[in-house]
Structure 1
Amino acid sequence: METKNSLEHHQPSDSPKPSLDQEPSRRFWDILDLHKWEGFWYSTGHLEGTKDLQAHHESRDDDIVLASSIKTGTTWLKALCFCIMQGQKGADKGKDGEKEEEEDDPLLKNHPTFYVQTIESKNYAKNSTVDLSAMPSPRLFHTHIPYSALPESMKKSNCKIVYITRNANDTLVSMWHFFNTVRTPEQGPYPFDKAFESFCDGVHPYGPFFDHVLEYWEESLKKPEKILFLRYEEMKRDPKEEVKKLASFLGRPFANDEELEKVLWRCSLDRLKNLEVNKNGLTSVGMPRSSFFRLGVVGDWKNNLSNEMQEKLDQMTKMKLENTGLELEK
């Protein structure tokens, strides 16, 4: 995600800006200007990137696109898919080769967002004539944009899409902690009650949350061979089974349990959080690297939501998901 300090990073002077005069606009938590376009809220830079993506992107049949709303397990999914697609270097080294094998791990050198970049904020927002044809296949991308805003070539090609979501309660709390990391000391944390109302109103980057989730859910029911729909809570409860399913969907099934275990260890949130490369500095979009790893647990919302807030969000979840077949456990 971009922040107040990185907006200009996504808006070069020689890049035409979209006409926003007719788009509804709101200020998000005193750090971002959001514009509503085709039912969803985008920051200025991400709206530029989305429109450029629609106009210029050509999918390949072997592309892999990771998709998510914000703060639903994206970084974990990026690490997992990157490791799965890279294969297991040193998988035959055994215990004596563990040190050498660990030194070969790219995740020791760079944040997962370095290897799997968000296409509308890195590849297209800077330059609408970006050329991705030199990327070797299979190309691995990520996007936060809703399914309806994906370029037609992504929808019509045989590229695969992996979508991850989580329950609304934990998504909100994670979002609140995330964006507080870029507020100034003078600003302090954004009032949680205001954050709650903003989330319920759907006014946040790539919101409304439930509309975003349901677009991908409904498409995954129509095209299960194209879209794999993952729930963060299920991945936390049974990581072996879920990651095995993910690898098979990507066309890279594990040869044995040892390969699976190594990917789970390399990409575990505890390990990623404690790697030196993720403790300090900023990502390329101006966010603290450490802000992408906090607790990673299910149920942290209980420490933030009042009973009244919990009831309101539960009612909203029930109403939005009614008759859809989708359940998001807390």
Structure 2
Amino acid sequence: MASSTPNISPSAQGLTQFQGFWIPSRIAPISSIISFQKYFQALDEDIIVASKPKAGTTWLKALVFTIVNRHSYTLSNTPLNFTNPHQLISHFEIKFYKENPNPDLSKIPSPRLFSTHLPYPMLADSIKLEDCFEMFCRGEESYGPFWDHALGFNNLKDLEINKTGKMPRSIIPSNKLFFRSGKVGDYVNHLSPTVVERLSNILKEKLSESSLTF
């Protein structure tokens, strides 16, 4: 991948635009991303959990680790009982290539488990909803713009390997801090009609040529 000159957002502390995306560079330094792009060599057996923040990544990591290691652990002795899933499936940009620009990953047992995405830190009280909304509309968010991120994966939906899997529906845990209310349309209780209309128009424009709807 060709690198580009980082552009720091004047309105969002800690966000740096790099190769068309806004990166939380205080957590994922641009240098670690460049090192990852330059040195990482994927293996056919590698499993990479790739997602945006707050998209169920912690849960997905726990599921992936459990499936891959189902013959190695039981429910009573699985590391998930005492270890955060993020420690079991570490990030490229905030773990491996942040600690070492060219880490030796050859000793990791196959299939190697990796992830790429940063948990977004809690917003400071000084950042108002209106400011966050304006930033989102400009695409200034972790690994944003959102629509470009979503379309990149949506374009892979027709691959045969992505047509054969099924995801069972489960009851969402009662954890309102992480999942909020978990109700479709709850945004109307937090956003004004003007904000909702503008956001809807942006998504319609950006996703008009895809099958994605919101």
Normalising to structure 2: TM-score of the pair?
A: 0.82
Q: Secondary structure at the match of 2:167?
A: helix
Structure 2 residue runs without a partner (length 5+): none
Superposed displacement of residue 68, structure 1: 1.1
The structure with the greater share of residues assigned to helix is 1
Q: What amino acid is the match of 1:76? A: W
Q: Give the aligned partner of residue 69 of structure 1.
A: 52
Distance 2:10 2:86 in 1: 26
Cross-structure match for 1:215: 152
How far 1:28 moved relative to its partner?
5.6
Candidates 200, 207, 210, aligned match of 1:321? 207
Equivalents in 2 of 1:199, 1:139: separation in Å? Answer: 34
Deviation (angstroms), 1:179: 2.0
Pair 1:131-2:112 in alignment: no
Give the TM-score of the pair, scaled to structure 1: 0.55
Given candidates 17, 29, 38, the residue that maps to 1:36 is: 17
1:64-83 CA-partner distances (Å, limit 9, x unpaired):
11111222221121122112
Look up the match of 2:6.
23
Residue 112 in 1 paired to residue 50 in 2? no
Correspondence 1:1-330 to 2 at 5 A: 22-27=5-10, 29-30=12-13, 32=14, 34-44=15-25, 45-87=28-70, 89-90=73-74, 101=75, 103-144=76-117, 179-180=122-123, 183=124, 188=125, 190-221=127-158, 223-225=159-161, 241-243=166-168, 269-270=173-174, 293-295=178-180, 297-299=182-184, 300-328=186-214
Cα distance in 2 for partners of 1:114, 1:308 equals: 41
Aligned CA distance change for structure 1 residues 211 and 107 (closer, same or farther; 3 Å): same
SS at match of 2:107: coil
Query: Does the Cα contact within 8 Å between 2:139 and 2:145 map onto a contact in 1?
Result: yes
User: 4+ residue stretches of structure 1 with deviation over 6 A?
Assistant: none
SS class of match (1:141): strand
Contact 1:119 1:141 in 2 (8 A): yes
Contact between 1:76 and 1:269, CA under 8 Å: does it hold in 2? no
Note if contact 2:21-2:144 (Cα within 8 Å) is conserved in structure 1.
yes
User: In structure 2, what is the Cα distance between the partners aligned to 1:205 and 1:294?
Assistant: 18
Letter in 2 for 1:217: N
Separation in structure 1 between the aligned mates of residue 24 and residue 188 of structure 2, nearest angstrom: 29
**Unpaired runs of at least 5, structure 1:** 1-18, 91-100, 146-173, 231-240, 245-263, 275-290
Letter in 2 for 1:62: E
CA RMSD of aligned residues (A): 3.0
**Counterpart contact for 1:41–1:205, Cα < 8 Å:** yes
